[in-house]
Chain A
């Protein structure tokens, strides 16, 4: 039977339950406090800066003194010549990155799960994680040493084979492939740990019974492993889709540098903002683009999560 309370009584009851909850679990809340403080200082406080997206910011008048310009900063981005290509490139790089970023680590985790030789497994797993700890700058230097026209290893090999040296920094579409390969090389080993952890969580009894039923390894992977880690895959996919409108501008710029010939497919929203900031910095416009990115990503997460909740409720984040 539901007991009806009057409004002041209801409020008092809620307050009491809140105080009771705090008294009971105060240690847990104390532990959560540094995390809450971190997110408040670094994620919520800077949100006040969003106001700059609607202002013609100048350093003399500051954030609050600068004149309001409404949506003109947003209009500038929508009307700029680079807008369609920048959006297309961002979506192209991100979506290919998401697909490859799921398939390769997943496949690596499945393969690692098959390796029963302890030393091979441990050594290869450790080695696979190494590239993740190499900084983007070091990676770009390695890549430059491979593709440089004069000193690059690639052209040295071509020379040994009797071929003419090639300028590798001219075809933009080629660099989409290189970028994806380098990104996969850098992150796949590290990402595979998550899938491997999920795989080790599956009960070995399921595999034993499948073996008795006559299932081979491929069938075991298809009917036990993949369904067992389905929720992990879906959650990671939803989280990845939440970053679909963002790319690593620093990494892209370190790879291609100031080469206009490579911008055709490599110029994303972030590199566009980076170029704007390097040219004539207009804080209002760059903030507006950043805000648009965040809103688009939020919408994408909400939509994908909503679809996931309808199709596969276990994989939904909220």
Chain B
């Protein structure tokens, strides 16, 4: 019967790979969301400025 043999060395490699993949994945998410938020700054500023203008003006 053919089966996938995972020895200790392979297992270690597999665990390491999964960890680095995970780090890279979440770093990518963080970078994308961070940059998207930075791109939103002027729009947020406009909203803040508009909200600060007195209503009776």
Nearest chain-B residue to A186 (Cβ)? B39
Contact with B along A212-223 (1 / 0, CB 8 A): 001011100000
B50 CB–A CB distance under 8 Å = no
Contacts of A216 in B (CB 8 A): 17, 20-21, 24
Chain B 22-57 residues near chain A, CB threshold 8 A: 24-25, 27-29, 31-33, 35-36, 38-40, 42-43, 45
How many positions in chain B have a CB within 8 Å of any CB in the partner chain?
20
Which of B29, B32, B33, B39 is the one whose CB lies under 8 Å from A130?
B39
Mostly, the B contact residues are helix
Find out whether the CB atom of A112 lies under 8 angstroms from the CB atom of B39.
Answer: no
Which of A124, A142, A217, A218 is the one whose CB lies under 8 Å from B45?
A142
**Which of A110, A115, A130, A216 has the most CB atoms of chain B within a 10 A radius of its CB?**
A216
Distance between Cα atoms of A113 and B27 in the complex (Å):
12
Contact with B along A130-152 (1 / 0, CB 8 A): 11001000110010010000000
Contacts of A115 in B (CB 8 A): 28-29, 32
Q: A127-B36, A189-B35, A189-B39 are in contact. Are A114 and B20 (CB under 8 A)?
A: no
Contacts of A311 in B (CB 8 A): none
Which of B24, B27, B39 is the one whose CB lies under 8 Å from A185?
B39
Find out whether the CB atom of A114 lies under 8 angstroms from the CB atom of B29.
Answer: yes
Distance between Cα atoms of A107 and B36 in the complex (Å):
14
Distance between Cα atoms of A121 and B13 in the complex (Å):
30
Q: What are 27 inter-chain pairs, A to B, with CB distance below 8 A?
A: A111-B27, A111-B29, A111-B31, A112-B28, A114-B25, A114-B28, A115-B28, A115-B32, A117-B29, A120-B32, A121-B32, A123-B36, A128-B35, A130-B40, A131-B39, A131-B42, A134-B42, A138-B42, A139-B42, A153-B45, A214-B13, A214-B17, A216-B20, A216-B24, A217-B20, A217-B21, A218-B20
Closest 9 CB pairs of A and B: A114-B28, A124-B36, A111-B28, A127-B36, A216-B17, A111-B31, A217-B24, A217-B21, A124-B32
